[in-house]
């Protein structure tokens, strides 16, 4: 289909590290790569967990303070239940199981797919300094650690969009 | 329903050019569609298209991830063989419907 103003470049920012935050970014990013759209993904603050070798495949979802969370069957998950030890791990395990059924890959494999298609992954310099991470802590797929200014520079161009997930 | 003629054979397609009847597809037709997309088909192209066609016939969802499990090529090669939007191009040339998958 011919469009008058096609999306030519997508620049995603992921600042949170819960399963659903990271996957929203990765699915949007991989989807853009699949459409042949130039894709940059910038991870910052807690979003850095998604590109840390030791944490990327161990993300959790929040069970406290998450009013949209439902129990199997559709009943709301009472916030008080969220404080039971193991509840967060269990819920996260279930989420990952449901995603696997839809052929949604683990974070590390998702990054493989995005980079294989030409997508680029970046870490935020300020957050990296703040949390005292080093380049070698990150996945090999992280091509650079950027300042905000550098990120905006590479986000430039006609048909380019910046999306804060 | 629209029709198109490839390699002297008239086939049924939808408004985006995807086959609505995959059994009308032949290798000769694939070569012609690929030409429209600016792709010259090799044995590797045909091998991965056969994988996609088999998956479609079995009713399995097509995803970019499944290419890595094809045993034919990896995802990186897939992007090189069908530059731009590989899953969309490959299914179009392979004579099967456009995948409804988001991944």
pLDDT at res. A145: 98
pLDDT at res. A1: 56
Closest-CA distance, B63 to chain A, in angstroms, reads 8
pLDDT at res. B1: 72
- Cβ of B63 within 8 Å of Cβ of A103? The answer is yes
Closest-CA distance, B21 to chain A, in angstroms, reads 21
Q: Which long-range contacts (CB under 8 A, 24 or more apart) does B38-46 make?
A: B39/B81, B39/B82, B39/B83, B39/B89, B39/B93, B41/B93, B42/B81, B44/B72, B44/B73, B44/B77, B44/B81, B45/B81, B45/B82, B45/B90, B45/B93
Give the ipTM of the model, two decimals please.
Answer: 0.92
SS3 B92: helix
SS3 A66: coil
pLDDT at B26 over 80: yes
pLDDT at res. A2: 65
pLDDT tens per residue, range A84-131: 999 999 999 999 999 999 889 999 999 999 999 999 999 999 999 999
pLDDT at res. B21: 94
pLDDT at res. A3: 73
Q: Where are the domains of chain B?
A: 2-93
Which residue in chain A has the smallest CA separation from B84?
A: A36
pLDDT tens per residue, range B78-88: 999 999 999 99
Mutate one of A8, A35, A103, A107 to test the B interface: name it (highest B CB count within 10 A): A103
CATH number of A11-158: 3.40.1260.10
Most distant CA atoms of chain B, gap in Å: 36
Catalytically active residues of B are 102
- Cβ of B66 within 8 Å of Cβ of A1? The answer is no
Asked whether the beta carbons of B63 and B19 are under 8 A apart, the reply is no
Q: Which residues of chain A have pLDDT under 50?
A: none
Task: Locate B18 and state its tokens.
Answer: 């995807």
Q: Where are the domains of chain A?
A: 11-158
């Amino acid at each position: 289909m011919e469009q008058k103003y096609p999306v030519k470049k997508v620049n995603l920012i992921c600042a949170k590290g819960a399963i659903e935050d990271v996957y929203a970014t990765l699915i949007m990013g991989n989807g853009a790569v699949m459409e042949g759209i130039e894709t940059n993904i910038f991870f910052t603050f807690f979003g850095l967990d998604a590109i840390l070798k030791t944490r990327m495949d161990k993300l959790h979802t929040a069970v406290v303070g998450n009013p949209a969370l439902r129990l199997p069957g559709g009943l709301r998950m009472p916030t008080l239940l969220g404080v039971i030890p193991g509840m967060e791990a269990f819920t996260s395990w279930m989420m990952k199981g449901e995603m696997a059924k839809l052929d949604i890959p683990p974070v590390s494999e998702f990054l493989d797919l995005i980079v294989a298609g030409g997508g680029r992954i970046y870490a935020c310099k300020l957050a990296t300094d703040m949390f005292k991470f080093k380049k070698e802590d990150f996945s090999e797929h992280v091509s650079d650690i950027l300042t905000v200014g550098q990120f905006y520079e590479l986000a430039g161009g006609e048909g380019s969009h910046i999306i804060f997930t | 329903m629209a029709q198109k003629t490839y390699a002297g054979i008239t086939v049924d397609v939808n408004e985006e050019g995807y086959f609505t009847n995959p059994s009308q597809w032949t290798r000769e037709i694939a070569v012609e569609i690929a030409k429209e997309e600016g792709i010259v088909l090799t044995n590797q192209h045909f091998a991965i298209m056969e994988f996609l066609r088999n998956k479609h016939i079995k009713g399995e969802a097509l995803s970019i991830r499944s290419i890595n499990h094809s045993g034919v090529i990896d995802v990186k090669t897939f992007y090189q063989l069908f530059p731009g939007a590989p899953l969309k191009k490959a299914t179009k040339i392979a004579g099967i419907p456009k995948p409804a998958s988001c991944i």
